[in-house]
A = this chain, B = another copy of it.
């Protein structure tokens, strides 16, 4: 594997990592569609029946045989004898004969003998029974045929698809009330550092509170995982190794955050190599913030060592952890590769950057003259409140040594 001082590019690191996919996935479970919003299908879903089960009108009007309206105009209308009205939710009565029509509402069932629906707007009542049709309809016009929406046994949704509101609606429409999904993947978060205390503890001199396990919990939930905070541990090899080994038993991913003491980064590497094969895949990436990030796999389970710096945690999560976790949520390749939302914006001031590393800068977005501008939040990189003000991060690519005011940059939205 790579030594700690050889920095590789973000692209290369991600490539090395994703070569080990598929990663360990959670088990399947059966869910009611009521509880399935946002969950990922673990099996394809097929239509159990034709949808709609009968031919339906898509407008309010009169069901007719289209041939009876052929050539109808304002000057020379067709005459239709309206013999009955179709009640909603009921079978469509007796068949239409030549020259006959039936009053029908949107969603109503077409009677036998009808192949189209004339809209009210294109008719006029002559008397109680008889209407004039002033515009012809073609066969199938204003009708959804039985099975036109979905055919019995047709695949409706694919395994790996994350269920959106309209997908749940479609399942309900097909009468499918239970489905197979992946359980939410459990991600262990291990905080390390002798100076770190939990948020509810008073601080002694030199101590700081744990920030990253809270931020990571939110980020993991956001992707669809289940965060499991394992606590705060001292920077000692045997202690960290034990909690990592334990975490591998009940998680599909392990995140080790912090450890700012000198030497801790090498210790985290050693723990990952100790925990399983192939161990550390990369250690150090040409990325700012986030340079010291460590990525590895221990027996099929991705393990990351994250820098203690909150801004670096956000950037590293977005670049490395998000795609792995999407895949572990059971997403198909297309879904896993779907990136966080990005917008193109003009940078509001000159930013210098070292070529040879990808740089992420917190920005606030503002619209001005119909264009989106990204206003860099300058401030020392260790600040937490910068992140609370930012709308996202502007990316200065590897091969550029900065951007000039007005230049277009890609902004990754939070």
Interface residues of A (CB under 8 A from B): 33-34, 37, 51-54, 56, 58, 60, 86-92, 103, 105-109, 144, 148-150, 156-157, 163-177, 193-197, 199-219, 221-222, 235, 260-262, 308-310, 314, 341, 380-385, 387-388, 390, 413-414
CB proximity of A86 to chain B, nearest CB, Å: 8
Q: How far is the CA of A89 from the CA of B192 in the complex (A)?
A: 12
Cβ contacts A to B, 22 pairs, < 8 Å: A33-B214, A52-B208, A56-B208, A87-B206, A88-B194, A88-B235, A88-B261, A89-B194, A106-B309, A107-B260, A107-B308, A150-B385, A164-B218, A165-B214, A165-B222, A165-B414, A166-B218, A166-B390, A169-B212, A170-B388, A175-B199, A175-B201
Contact A382 B58 (CB under 8 A): yes
Contact B91 A205 (CB under 8 A): yes
Contact A205 B90 (CB under 8 A): yes
Contact B169 A211 (CB under 8 A): yes
Q: How far is the CA of A196 from the CA of B52 in the complex (A)?
A: 13
CB proximity of A119 to chain B, nearest CB, Å: 12
Contact B211 A170 (CB under 8 A): yes
CB proximity of A22 to chain B, nearest CB, Å: 24
Residues of chain B within 8 A of A210, CB atoms compared: 172
Q: A195-B107, A215-B166 are in contact. Are A209 and B173 (CB under 8 A)?
A: yes
Contact B206 A90 (CB under 8 A): yes
From B222, B384, B390, give the contact of A169 (CB < 8 A). Answer: B384
Q: How far is the CA of A214 from the CA of B377 in the complex (A)?
A: 42
Contact B148 A380 (CB under 8 A): yes
Q: How far is the CA of A399 from the CA of B217 in the complex (A)?
A: 46
Residues of chain B within 8 A of A193, CB atoms compared: 88-89, 107
Q: How far is the CA of A174 from the CA of B390 in the complex (A)?
A: 18
CB proximity of A161 to chain B, nearest CB, Å: 9
Q: How far is the CA of A341 from the CA of B144 in the complex (A)?
A: 32
